[in-house]
Copies of this chain bind each other. A is one copy, B any other.
């Protein structure tokens, strides 16, 4: 089962700047061979369910090891059985309808 996910990991208790944790997550996702797209409020990920979820777990474990005592994460995730759809398809299906 393929999934398209929007992942936003927020470490708590490590001060106001969280970009180094986002960088660490990004590296974990890349090493896992997942297709990712960084945006201003999270990272979009495309891949097989189990691989994506394993990477999300690794992000949590790694960020705790980096010293964050608490993490709150917001995820949106979509699956469909009617047809294959990539992240690029999703954006294109909107962009082609914009004048």
Residues of chain B lying within 8 A (CB to CB) of residue A15: 13
* With A69-B80, A71-B79, A80-B69 as contacts: A60 and B94 at CB distance below 8 Å: no
Once the chains are docked, how many angstroms separate the CA of A76 from the CA of B75? 6
Known: A38-B95, A53-B53. 14 other contacts (CB 8 A): A16-B80, A20-B97, A23-B98, A26-B94, A37-B39, A37-B40, A39-B91, A49-B57, A60-B79, A64-B79, A71-B80, A73-B76, A73-B77, A75-B77
Counting every copy of the chain, the complex holds 4
* CB pair A1 B39 closer than 8 Å: no
Which residues of the partner chain B approach A5 to less than 8 Å between Cβ atoms? 41
Beyond A13-B15, A39-B91, whether A72 also contacts B78 by CB under 8 A is yes
Contact A16 B13 (CB under 8 A): yes
Whether A71 pairs with B75 at a CB distance below 8 angstroms is no
Contact A57 B53, beta carbon cutoff 8 Å: yes
Q: Judging by beta carbons under 8 Å apart, are B12 and A70 in contact?
A: no
